[in-house]
Structure 1
Amino acid sequence: MNLHALRIFYETAKAGSITGAAEVLRISQPAVTSQIKRFEKEIGMRLFAARGRGISLTDAGQKLLEYARKLFALEEEMEAFVDGYTSGRNGAIRLVSTYLPANFLLPAWVAKFKRDHEEVDFVITTTNSRGAFDSLLNYEAEIAVYGGAGERQPGIHWEELFEDELWFVVPVHHKYANEHITLAEIVKEPFIMREEGSSTREWLFSLCRVHNVSPPQIALQFNGLNETISAVMAGYGTNFISSLVVRDHVERGALARVYVKDILLKNIIAVCTRTDEVLSPPAERFIQMIKASVGAGQALP
C-alpha cells in the first residue's frame, strides 16, 4: 500500500474537504484529487462520495480511516520514542556494579538521573569485581560501575572518577583500636571479609605477598558489605574496607581505625565500558551526569 497516498486520504478525511487537505499538506487541490483517485484505483475501493459541494466517506472509507488513524498515531509514538531515545530521555540502561558503589554511590546517582529522565529504565545487577567484568564483556550490561583495586581487563575502557582510602577497622574496644601497628601484627587477627572475587579481599592477600607476611585467617565470610560491617561492630574481627563504607561509623564511634605502618592504599571508583563501543544515548547521558556530579562534589558520601 502506498503510505504517501494513505496519508493524503487520511488528511482529506480529517479535513472533510479537498481544500482543507491541500492546505494541511501544502500541495495543490488537483494534486490531492489526483492522488486520491489513483489510490482508490490501487486498492480497489471507493473511499469518498460527493456531498453537495463537499465530500463524505463511504463505508469502506470510514473503515480505512479507523485503520489509518491507528497507524499514524503509532507513527507519532515511534517518532516520539526515537526522538526521546536519541536525546537520552527514554530507553533502558543495563548496568552492573560492584558492591561498594552499588550500596553507597549508585542510589543517589540513579535518583538524580531519574528526576530528569523518568522514562529511562534501569536494569541493575550487583556482583563482585570478577562478575562485573564478566557481565560487561559478555554483553549482559552496557556500563559497569567499579570500586576496587583497579585491576585492568583487556577490552574494557576505564574512566576513573575518584579514589578513596582503604582502612583497617576493628571493634571500638579492640586492643588495636586507634593504634599504630605493623602489617605483620594486624594480619594475626581474625578477619571478616567478603567472598573470593571481591577486590579488597584479593588486594589484602596481594599486600601480604608483597610484604612477605602470612595472609590473615578469614574467620567469617559474607557476600555483602553491610553484613561484614555489622559483624565487626558487633565486637568480633578485623576488616579491610573502603573508607566510603565505614567513615560515618568511625566518626560516630561505632568502629575504630587501626593505622598500619607504611600502608596507604587507595580504592579506585571508575565507570567501565567496552572498548571502542558507542554507547546508547541514555547510557552516555548517565555517565556524563555521574562525571559532572563527581566533579561538583555532589552525590558522594
Structure 2
Amino acid sequence: MNLHGLRLFHYVAKTSSFTKAADILHISQPAVSSQIKKFEGELDIPLFHKNSRKWTLTPFGEELAERAELFFAHEKQLEQFVQDYQLAKKGRLRITATYLPANFLIPQWTAAFKAENEEVEISITTRNSQDAFHDLIHFKADMAMYAGGLEGQREEVEWRHLFQDEIWFVVSPQHRLANCSVSLEDVIKEPFIMREAGSSTRERLISLCQTYRVSPPKIALQFNGLNEAIRSVMTGYGVNFVSSLVVKNYVDTGQLARVFVDIAPVKNIIAICTRKGEKPSPIVERFIRLCMENSKNNQ
C-alpha cells in the first residue's frame, strides 16, 4: 500500500476538506486531489461518493479512514517512544555496583535522576568487584560503578574516573591503637574484620602487604556486608580497612577512631564503567553526566 497516499487520504477524511489537508501538509490543493485520485486508482476501490461539488466517503472509505486514524496514532506513539528514548525519558537502566558506591553514592544520584526521568526503570545490584565486572561484560548490566584500585581495571571495560577517596585503618575508640601512629607491621598484627574474599578493599589490603613485604593479616571475622563489619569493630574487637566515605561520619562523631599508619595514603578510585567499544544508550549517557556533575562535591 502507498503510505504517502494513505496519509493524504487520512488528512482529507479527518478534516473533511482537500484544502485543509493541503494546508496541514504544506502542499497545493490540486496536488492533494491528484495524489488521492492516484491512490484510489491503485486500490481499485472507490473512496468517495461524488455529487456535484460535494463528496462523501464510501462505506469502504469510512472504514479505511477509521483504520488509518489508528495507524497514524500508533505512528505518533512510536515517534514519541523514540524521542523519549533519545532524551532518556523512558527505558531501563541496570546498574551493577560495588558496595561503596551502591550504598553511599548511587542512592542520592538515582533519586536525582528519577526526579527528572520518572518513567525510566532503574535496577541496582550490589556486587563485589569480580561479580560486578562479570555482570557488565556479560550484558547483565548497562553500566558498573566501581570503587577500588587501578589493579582492578579490565581491558574489556571503558573507565570514567569520578574522584578518589582515602582508605583508612579504623578501630573502636577504646582500642589500644586508637588515634595512634604506628607502622604497617604493627597494625597488621591485629585481628582484622573484613568483607568476603573478592571485595576490592580486602584485595587492596593484601596487595598493600605484598608491596611493603609484610605478612598478610589474619582475617578474624568475615562478613558479606560492610555495615556488619563496621558494627563489629565498634564493639572493640579488631581493625577494619575501609573507605573514608563510609566511616568519616563515625570517626567525626567518636564512634570509631583512626589508626595512622606510616605509609603513603592508600586511595580508592571511584569510576563508572561501560563496555569498551560500545556506545552507551542515551539513558546511560545522561546518568553518567549526572554522576560526573554530582561527584564534583566529593573532590
TM-score by length of 2: 0.92
Alpha-carbon distance, 1:263 to partner:
4.7
* Aligned partner letter, 2:76: E
Does the CA-based 8 Å contact 1:161-1:294 persist in structure 2? yes
- SS of 1:11's partner is helix
1:117 correspondence with 2:129: no
What is the CA–CA distance in structure 1 between the aligned matches of 2:264 and 2:222, rounded to whole Å?
A: 24
CA change 1:264–1:22 in 2 (3 A) is closer
What is the CA–CA distance in structure 1 between the aligned matches of 2:223 and 2:240, rounded to whole Å?
A: 12
Structure 2 runs not aligned, ≥5 long: none
Residue equivalent to 2:75: 75
What is the CA–CA distance in structure 2 between the aligned matches of 1:246 and 1:38, rounded to whole Å?
A: 76
1:19 correspondence with 2:26: no
Residue equivalent to 1:134: 134
Alpha-carbon distance, 1:41 to partner:
3.2
- SS of 1:13's partner is helix
CA change 1:60–1:164 in 2 (3 A) is same
Residue equivalent to 2:146: 146
* Aligned partner letter, 2:96: V
Residue equivalent to 2:42: 42
1:148-167 matches, cutoff 5 A:
148-150=148-150, 151-167=152-168
What is the CA–CA distance in structure 2 between the aligned matches of 1:283 and 1:11, rounded to whole Å?
A: 39
* Aligned partner letter, 2:274: T
1:1-301 matches, cutoff 5 A:
1-50=1-50, 53-150=53-150, 151-295=152-296, 297=297, 300=298
- SS of 2:175's partner is coil
Does the CA-based 8 Å contact 1:104-1:245 persist in structure 2? yes
TM-score by length of 1: 0.91
- SS of 1:134's partner is helix
Alpha-carbon distance, 1:51 to partner:
5.9
What is the CA–CA distance in structure 2 between the aligned matches of 1:70 and 1:138, rounded to whole Å?
A: 40
What is the CA–CA distance in structure 2 between the aligned matches of 1:85 and 1:280, rounded to whole Å?
A: 9
Does the CA-based 8 Å contact 1:5-1:39 persist in structure 2? yes
Aligned length: 298
* Aligned partner letter, 2:179: N
What is the CA–CA distance in structure 1 between the aligned matches of 2:101 and 2:293, rounded to whole Å?
A: 16
Does the CA-based 8 Å contact 1:9-1:36 persist in structure 2? yes
* Aligned partner letter, 2:214: V
| Per-residue CA distance 1:54-73 (angstroms, 9 max, x = gap) | 33223222222222112111
- SS of 2:213's partner is coil
What is the CA–CA distance in structure 2 between the aligned matches of 1:211 and 1:18, rounded to whole Å?
A: 86
What is the CA–CA distance in structure 2 between the aligned matches of 1:207 and 1:42, rounded to whole Å?
A: 79
Does the CA-based 8 Å contact 1:101-1:145 persist in structure 2? yes
Q: CA RMSD in A?
A: 2.0
Q: Percent identity?
A: 51
Alpha-carbon distance, 1:243 to partner:
0.3
Structure 1 runs not aligned, ≥5 long: none
